[in-house]
Amino acid sequence: MSQTKTWWKEGIVYQIYPRSFNDTTGNGIGDLRGIIEKLDYIASLGVTIIWLNPVYDSPNDDNGYDIRDYRKIMAEFGTMEDFDELLSGMKERGLRLIMDLVVNHCSDEHKWFKESRSSRDNAYRDYFHWWPAENGTPPNRWSYFDVEENAWKYDEQTDAYYLHYFAVKQPDLKWENPAVRKEVYDMMHFWFKKGVDGFRMDVIPFISKDTSYPEINATEPHEYIAYYANGPKVHEYLNELNTEVISKYDAFTVGEGPGISIDQALDFVHEDRKEMDMFFHFDLMSLDRAPGEVFKMREGGYSLVEFKKVFSDWDAAFAKAGWGSLFLANHDFPRSVSRWGNDSPEHWKNSATLLHTFLLTMRGTPYFYQGDEIGMTNVCFTDIEDYKDINTINRYKTVQNRGGDLEAFMQSEQHAARENARTPMQWDTSANAGFTSATPWIKVNPDYENGVNVEAQLKTKHSVLSYFREITALRKAHPALVYGDYECIRPEHDRVYCYTRTQEDQRFLILLNFSDEVERFSLPLSLSYNRKIKLISNDKILDDKTFKEFLLRPWQAIVYKLEN
């Protein structure tokens, strides 16, 4: 079947982490009015959809992913009136909004959980997963953020354990209870009626549990994650969610998909299944992690051949049905230019713009994280006191309690930590990069003083920011870059990523040099064309006059249109 054209397939998504975007109240924390203040800037980037990280009322144990009230705005971020003004401002500029849907778990301060833990016969008791202590120790479950890596927390009040796949303050909701599902659907209708355009659904494959809580054959984190993502009723619940809510609006959903393997992909996003529209897979995010590890970096980094294979395999999975998402970073992972490029002063600009070129010339919906457009880099904190993230802090305690190597842990965190993405947006060269007039909630990356800021790049003709605007315009101008067939050229080449995008009589050639050296690259004889027209390049072209042979500068990206 051919791909149906939709606005969300053609969209370019810009993710905003409100806490770190722009502070207008002088408390060191970004807010909704800070986003309103920058809407013209956002629209000027050429993006079309904004993904907003959680802005709901929360005690902030996990920076908003522990929700206390799904229908109230976090006081630090503003009011519901601010939200309504923000949404109206987006609509005026032709921008669409997707919210973060966090419904695998909520906060232990949510009314539902406070009632649930109050007594075993409370009406809300069955909103969560409880294991009576008289039944002994509950079967082992691994937790992402628990210091002991134990997903069961003993609660003395009712002499029982509750399940939390994440932090102890994030109890898992019991989707097996129809009342819980109805609460979720009603809440989603609330936001849709306000005018939002969809949801990014946090760890959505985890919502279904086997409530007999069997012992499972798992010892490594990735084995537990695969189990969590394959609950007995996950597809039933996702189909119901779509039927009861999503199908009633011109909206789309993108799921966070840890544990979903490539052979399961279409089970979640094939159009006929009516579950989700797309999801974020984690094959790329594990590419530079140690075997079996979720957070620890592997020695030696990643290879380009592996990188190509991940994208080529997933493109093939969605070539005829379903749809893919494209991302290199977000709030949970390090900065893309530091992770997949080279952020040294010599190669930073070309690396950042090469990665922009890649995402905007591949098939799938591209997602960018705030600051990508100016090439923001990893901050690489060396002191545990600089970290605010529960993930880093609790894993530090785990290593410490087990007598592990804290120095090695901190060295890995410099490159792996989520905090690398969460430093404040860099607007100019004033104090705190123009993010706040107060002490920021987390330290600012000092490289804002060296050209990595919006103001400086707006004044520079050939900046990372100006290139980002050009390449978003290029994608919009050529639907073949959205829907066209993808073919990887010379997949075995370990320095140059080359591919074509083809739709009917439109054909494009993309050349990306993922290395610090000048590379000579030859096209195979099987790729035929009579003429090539350069559409964009992030650097001056050394030599492309020889037929089917190219001399590429370090981290150079070139897009050609091919003509027969």
Residues marked active site are found at 202, 256
Alpha carbons 308 and 496: distance in angstroms, whole number:
10
DSSP state of 172: B
Which residues on neighbouring strands pair with residue 398, listed in sequence order?
Answer: none
Residue recorded with tokens 């549990």? 209
Please report, to the nearest 10 degrees, the dihedral formed by the alpha carbons of residues 80, 83, 89, 92 taken in order.
-80
Locate 122 and state its tokens. 């409370």
CB 105 within 8 A of CB 172: yes
Instruction: Name the phi and psi angles at 92, rounded to 5.
Output: -60, -30
User: Is residue 256 classed as helix, strand or coil in its secondary structure?
Assistant: strand
Contacts of residue 268, defined as CB under 8 A and 6 or more positions apart, other chains included, come to 205, 235, 238, 255, 257, 260, 275, 276, 279, 322
- What CA–CA distances, in Å, run from 141 to 111, 202, 347, 399, 492? 25, 19, 44, 19, 40
Alpha carbons 495 and 52: distance in angstroms, whole number:
35
Nearest to 295 by CA among 408, 423, 371: 408
CB 269 within 8 A of CB 275: yes
Alpha carbons 516 and 438: distance in angstroms, whole number:
40
* Cβ-count burial 134-161 (b if 16+ within 10 Å, e if not): eeeebeebbbbbbbebbbbbebeebebb
CB 441 within 8 A of CB 34: no
Contacts of residue 486, defined as CB under 8 A and 6 or more positions apart, other chains included, come to 312, 315, 319, 362, 363, 499, 500, 501
Nearest to 357 by CA among 330, 328, 315, 323: 328
Q: Which amino acid is at 76?
A: E
